[in-house]
């Protein structure tokens, strides 16, 4: 996708009975004017057997274009975001050192065996993900008849489909920057809306399963616990939950984490800390802030399109596209030279060459002052001790739990404030099991031990934690560091 395609684009999500639209048009200083709309329709826009109602979709999209706020949409190019269950999805392990030319034949053979179909009958593309000497390809394929139905509906409105993005790629893009290269995680992305909540399962490579877990029937918290238990029975232990949806703001992170039993990251906090540069690109009316938690799927598609511009569903996959890693040729502007300019340039070049070539051969003696002989004193340099480099801390991604065991009210809040001033983000506070602890103690995961000294200094520069009070935290724990405050914490 050419970078200019981002200048005026409609990011349109069409679910079974829901339309979400975010339209961005190029403004000054590299920013975008924004227009948005969402509506849940009474009738399904497509049925369970993936039959698309062309007229109904065209009517719903036309309404969105007309009633969008703060003004009607005038853009014509569309990045179409579609529900995951419309796509065929597969993930495959591949050798890390496989050549790119061998990836597509490998995928075709696998898809022919798994899907019992020929990829030439589908619109498809894949993502190649490498991490810790491990590589996977994530294949997304769409039936051509389904694509053509959407194409027909949008063409009735004079719209052009530039790309198609699965919704799950949009969601993943919104927390991808919080992932650590050295750590494999299982993450449940949860969109909360009363009676319409759902979730998808991811790991550090991306989508794990195309199954959309509903989180509604028994009440949100109970239903979510049931999903977690179901995953445990499948030997999938969650490391954290990403909580999205405008309604999710009513949940307190610390209380929700304690209630559910899995570390929970509010998407709002992630967006504000990791994707602020994208929010700054979107011009928002001060009187009406952009509800990005409701439009997470559109915002994610915008970010995905900018960061993964080579992903595009097509008949031939990447056969018809520029290979990944290939360089983009840039044509420089041509400059016309007059004959006089060429003559001056040639004369200067010849003159310079003559001076450089003949000057060393001319024996010119000049009276020179003989320098006094200086006695050279050989100094033996003293070896300087090289300080050990301080390990870098990804403060925004570090998960910290602070427990107050001192019996002094508000002490955990003080420690949390100290860390927030040092730009730590993921901090939960609570009470320890005991309230008469004399000494502060720390539990830290093995891979986080190198940064413990820096972390403790950030909590309180005068804090001295005895080595006997430092223990290893199990890797299965949600937090990376658990700090239990005693009476020695000032």
* CB within 8 Å of 186: residues ≥ 6 apart: 201, 202, 203, 208, 231, 236, 237, 238, 239
What is the predicted pLDDT for the residue at 356? Answer: 57
What is the predicted pLDDT for the residue at 325? Answer: 35
Between strands 206-207 and 213-214, the pairing is: unpaired
The lowest-confidence range among 130-144, 244-258, 306-320 is: 306-320
Compute the average pLDDT of residues 397-407: 89
Averaged pLDDT of the chain: 83
Q: Under CATH, which number does the domain 175-274 receive?
A: 3.30.420.40
Q: For residue 24, what pLDDT band results from cuts at 50, 70 and 90?
A: very high
Q: For residue 335, what pLDDT band results from cuts at 50, 70 and 90?
A: very low
Compute the distance between CA of residue 274 and CA of residue 246 in angstroms, rounded to an integer. Answer: 19
The answer on pLDDT for 333 being more than 50 is: no
The answer on pLDDT for 186 being more than 90 is: yes
The answer on pLDDT for 370 being more than 60 is: no
Beta-strand ranges (E) seen in 108-262 are: 122-131, 134-143, 160-166, 186-191, 198-203, 206-207, 213-214, 240-244
Sign for the pseudo-dihedral over CA of 414, 419, 424, 426:
negative
Q: For residue 315, what pLDDT band results from cuts at 50, 70 and 90?
A: confident
Cβ–Cβ contacts within 10 Å for residue 103, how many?
21
Q: For residue 3, what pLDDT band results from cuts at 50, 70 and 90?
A: very low
What is the predicted pLDDT for the residue at 227? Answer: 94
Asked whether the domain spanning 399-485 has the same topology as the one spanning 175-274, the reply is: no
Domain coordinates of the chain in residue numbers? 175-274, 399-485
Compute the distance between CA of residue 441 and CA of residue 451 in angstroms, rounded to an integer. Answer: 16
Report DSSP state, residue 250: G
Q: For residue 179, what pLDDT band results from cuts at 50, 70 and 90?
A: very high
Between strands 88-94 and 186-191, the pairing is: unpaired
* CB within 8 Å of 287: residues ≥ 6 apart: none
Compute the distance between CA of residue 312 and CA of residue 117 in angstroms, rounded to an integer. Answer: 20
What is the predicted pLDDT for the residue at 237? Answer: 94
- Which of 311, 312, 313, 244 minimizes the C-alpha distance to 275? 244
Our CA angle for 465, 466, 467, nearest 5°, is 115
Compute the distance between CA of residue 289 and CA of residue 268 in angstroms, rounded to an integer. Answer: 13
Compute the distance between CA of residue 191 and CA of residue 171 in angstroms, rounded to an integer. Answer: 10
What is the predicted pLDDT for the residue at 410? Answer: 87
Q: Model confidence over 59-95: pLDDT tens digits? A: 999 999 999 988 999 999 999 999 999 999 999 999 9
Q: Which residue has the higher pLDDT, 339 or 408?
A: 408
Residue whose structure tokens are 């004079």: 158
The lowest-confidence range among 226-230, 258-262, 335-339 is: 335-339
Q: Model confidence over 198-233: pLDDT tens digits? A: 999 999 999 999 999 888 767 899 999 999 999 999
The answer on pLDDT for 275 being more than 90 is: yes
What is the predicted pLDDT for the residue at 381? Answer: 56
- Per the CB < 8 A criterion, the answer to whether 212 and 84 are in contact is yes
Looking at domain 399-485, its CATH class is alpha beta
- Would you say the pTM of this structure is higher than 0.95? no
Compute the distance between CA of residue 39 and CA of residue 19 in angstroms, rounded to an integer. Answer: 5
What is the predicted pLDDT for the residue at 6? Answer: 55
What is the predicted pLDDT for the residue at 449? Answer: 87
In percent, the amount of the chain with pLDDT more than 90 equals: 49
Reading across the β-sheet that carries 18-26, which strands appear in turn? 160-166, 77-82, 8-14, 18-26, 32-40, 282-283
Q: Which residue has the higher pLDDT, 424 or 374?
A: 424
Sign for the pseudo-dihedral over CA of 405, 410, 415, 420:
positive
Residue 370 token pair = 């003989």
Compute the distance between CA of residue 319 and CA of residue 459 in angstroms, rounded to an integer. Answer: 53
Q: Model confidence over 438-487: pLDDT tens digits? A: 889 999 998 888 888 888 888 887 788 888 889 998 877 888 999 998 88
The lowest-confidence range among 63-72, 129-138, 326-335, 344-353 is: 326-335
Q: Model confidence over 283-310: pLDDT tens digits? A: 877 777 788 999 999 999 999 999 999 9
The answer on pLDDT for 173 being more than 50 is: yes
What is the predicted pLDDT for the residue at 75? Answer: 94
What is the predicted pLDDT for the residue at 351? Answer: 61
* CB within 8 Å of 283: residues ≥ 6 apart: 27, 31, 32, 33, 34
Q: For residue 125, what pLDDT band results from cuts at 50, 70 and 90?
A: very high
Compute the distance between CA of residue 457 and CA of residue 424 in angstroms, rounded to an integer. Answer: 13
The answer on pLDDT for 37 being more than 90 is: yes
The answer on pLDDT for 371 being more than 60 is: no
Between strands 470-473 and 441-445, the pairing is: parallel
Q: Which residue has the higher pLDDT, 279 or 172?
A: 172
């Amino acid at each position: 996708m050419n970078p200019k395609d981002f200048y005026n684009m409609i990011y349109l999500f069409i679910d079974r009975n829901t339309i979400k639209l975010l339209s961005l048009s190029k403004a000054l200083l590299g920013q975008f004017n924004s227009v948005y709309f969402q509506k849940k329709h009474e009738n399904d826009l497509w049925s369970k057997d993936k039959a698309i109602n062309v007229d109904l979709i065209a009517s719903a999209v036309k309404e969105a274009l007309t009633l969008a706020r703060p003004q009607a949409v005038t853009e014509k190019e569309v990045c179409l975001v579609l529900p995951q269950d419309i796509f065929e999805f597969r993930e495959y392990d591949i050798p890390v050192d496989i050549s790119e030319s061998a990836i597509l034949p490998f995928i075709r053979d696998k898809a022919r065996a798994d899907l019992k179909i020929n990829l030439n009958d589908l619109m498809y593309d894949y993502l190649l993900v490498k991490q810790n000497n491990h590589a996977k390809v994530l294949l997304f394929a769409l039936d051509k008849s389904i694509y053509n139905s959407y194409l027909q509906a949008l063409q009735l409105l004079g719209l052009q489909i530039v790309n198609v993005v699965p919704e799950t790629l949009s969601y993943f893009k919104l927390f991808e920057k919080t992932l650590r290269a050295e750590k494999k995680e299982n993450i449940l992305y949860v969109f909360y809306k009363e009676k319409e909540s759902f979730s998808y399962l991811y790991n550090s490579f991306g989508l794990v399963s195309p199954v959309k877990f509903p989180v509604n029937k028994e009440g949100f918290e109970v239903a979510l616990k049931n999903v977690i238990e179901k995953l445990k029975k499948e030997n999938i232990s969650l490391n954290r939950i990403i909580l999205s949806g405008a309604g999710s703001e009513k949940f307190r992170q610390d209380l929700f984490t304690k209630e559910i039993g899995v570390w929970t990251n509010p998407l709002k906090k992630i967006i504000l800390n990791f994707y602020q540069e994208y929010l700054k690109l979107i011009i928002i009316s001060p009187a009406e802030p952009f509800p990005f938690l409701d439009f997470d799927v559109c915002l994610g598609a915008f970010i995905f399109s900018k960061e993964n511009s080579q992903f595009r569903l097509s008949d031939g996959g990447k056969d018809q596209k520029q290979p990944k890693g290939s360089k983009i040729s840039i044509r420089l502007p041509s400059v016309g030279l007059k004959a006089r300019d060429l003559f001056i340039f040639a004369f200067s070049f010849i003159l310079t060459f003559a001076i450089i070539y003949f000057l060393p051969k001319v024996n010119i003696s000049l009276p020179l002052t003989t320098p006094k002989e200086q006695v050279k004193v050989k100094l033996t340099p003293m070896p300087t001790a090289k300080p050990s480099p301080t390990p870098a801390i990804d403060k925004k991604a570090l998960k910290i739990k602070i427990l107050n065991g001192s019996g002094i009210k508000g002490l955990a809040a003080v420690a949390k404030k100290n860390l927030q001033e040092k730009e730590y983000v993921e901090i939960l506070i609570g009470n320890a099991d005991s309230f008469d602890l004399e000494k502060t103690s720390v539990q830290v995961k093995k891979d986080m031990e190198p940064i413990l000294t820096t972390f403790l200094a950030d909590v309180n520069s005068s804090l001295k934690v005895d080595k006997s009070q430092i223990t290893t935290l199990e890797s299965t724990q949600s937090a990376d560091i658990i700090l239990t405050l005693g009476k020695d914490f000032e």
